Amino acid sequence: MYCGNCGKEIADNATFCPECGAKIEAARQAVKPKSFSPKTKKLMKLGVLVVAIIAVAFIGLKVFSYIQSIPSEEEIQMAANNVANGALVASDGKWIYYNDSGLCKMRLKDGSKQSVISSDIYAEHMFYIGNNLYYYSFPGYYVLDGTVGEDLGFSVFTENCIQFDGKKFYVTGSSNYEDGGVYSTKVGNTNKGTKLSDIHPTRLLLQGDYLYVVSGFSSINDLPNDNYGTWRMKLNGKDLISIFDYCPSYLVFSGDKMYYTNEDRTICSANLDGSNETVFEGTAVSNGLNVSEDYIFYISSDTQTIYRMDKDGSNKTELNADRSGRLNVVGEWIFYENQDYDYEIYKMSFDGSYNQPIY
């Protein structure tokens, strides 16, 4: 044992310390643990509880933020469908982002609080995924960081061949990598991609766990395009199947169905593997085809105006009287280019009411 007064090692049965002469019992009493009052103990427990609550809240906020950053399948599908229609606008569910001589935003529901994010950003081909706005501005793709755009490293050649599921980008390799084909690449490391397929895409479309690759080139490097048509594969490039032996002008998705135009530009529906095709006669399309949960919207090649019909092809209704293009659907609203009014962006409800420019 050791003396509680001077720390000298002493015999276990010693009564006095041979070094300093201190009585061993007194020395032991001198080093007894400090006793706190009931009030102090209560305050200490309260402090520990407060620290624990703060720690749990901090972790909870981190988890909540991470969950919020994971896009739902509906968000990814809406963004992909709008990208197929020129990505005129993008939405985070609360705000609409659009280009009006600079990047702007407006409240989705009532159109109020319009504001300019940056007059230096001329954003096109926009989509909002995972708490971030992505957009094309010549010569590449950017992600919005406050009021500036951060270059993602994708060049002009990916404008119609880019999809994002919140974790990975899916792009053509015609400019970023060694050759054509389909590549996946992680956020923050877009210069290093994994090749998924040799098929050279004209367009890429994302639906759930699958990529749809439209390969419309008649030749690649002066060689015949053996992969001409439309293909489907898993996000890892496996289970490649042929969907169509042609390239639809429009291809969009809703639930377990896809809606597209055939070689006669007529609207069709089918299962996600291309089976059980239904042709909706008298629905020739130009400049736009999109879907909501309940409806099919399209721009008639005869009138250049927007029509709505049920998903079984019934109840066709003309919604506007203006030449239209780039048909985007967000929430309960249709956004489109009004070609009769200097290509301004217009907004209207699903029944054709409240049809007016958004700025």
Pick from 110-119, 218-227, 242-251: least confident: 218-227
Band of the pLDDT at 218, cuts 50, 70, 90? low
Q: Is the model's pLDDT at 63 over the cut of 50?
A: no
* Local confidence band at 51 (pLDDT 50, 70, 90 cut-offs): low
Q: What are phi and psi of 177, to 5 degrees?
A: -125, -165
pLDDT digits (tens, 9 = 90+) for 169-200: 999 876 666 777 899 998 877 778 899 999 98
At residue 254 the predicted structure's pLDDT band, cuts being 50, 70 and 90, is very high
Contacts of 204 (CB under 8 A, 6+ apart): 160, 161, 162, 163, 170, 171, 172, 182, 211, 212, 213, 214
Q: How is residue 311 written in tokens?
A: 């998903």
The whole-model pTM stands at: 0.79
Q: Looking at domain 70-247, what is its CATH homologous superfamily?
A: TolB, C-terminal domain (2.120.10.30)
Cα(65)–Cα(309) distance, integer angstroms:
39
| C-alpha distances in Å from residue 113, one per residue of 121, 131, 184 | 19, 20, 38
Rounded Cα distance between 111 and 178, Å, is: 45
Convert the pLDDT of each residue in 136-159 to its tens digit.
998 889 999 999 999 988 876 677
C-alpha to C-alpha distance for 140 and 217, rounded to whole angstroms = 22
Terminal alpha carbon distance of the chain: 86
Please report the pLDDT score of residue 66 as a whole number.
37
Q: Which two tokens stand for residue 92?
A: 């985070």
The predicted pLDDT at position 48 comes to: 67
Average of pLDDT values for 220-239?
84
State residue 68's pLDDT score.
43
State mean pLDDT over 217-221: 59
Domains of the chain: which residue ranges?
Answer: 25-66, 70-247, 251-359
Q: How far is CA 283 from the centre of its chain?
A: 31
pLDDT at 337 over 80: yes
Apex CA 51: angle with CA 49 and CA 53, to 5°?
Answer: 70
Dist CA 85 CA 323 (whole Å): 15
Does this chain's domain 70-247 share its CATH topology with 251-359? Answer: yes
CATH for 251-359, options being 3.40.50.410, 3.10.20.30, 2.120.10.30, 3.40.50.1240: 2.120.10.30
State the Cα–Cα distance between residues 323 and 300, nearest whole angstrom.
10
Q: Spell 257-278 as b/e; 16+ CB within 10 A means b.
A: ebbbbeeebbbbbbebebeeee
Mean pLDDT over each residue of the chain, to the nearest integer: 85
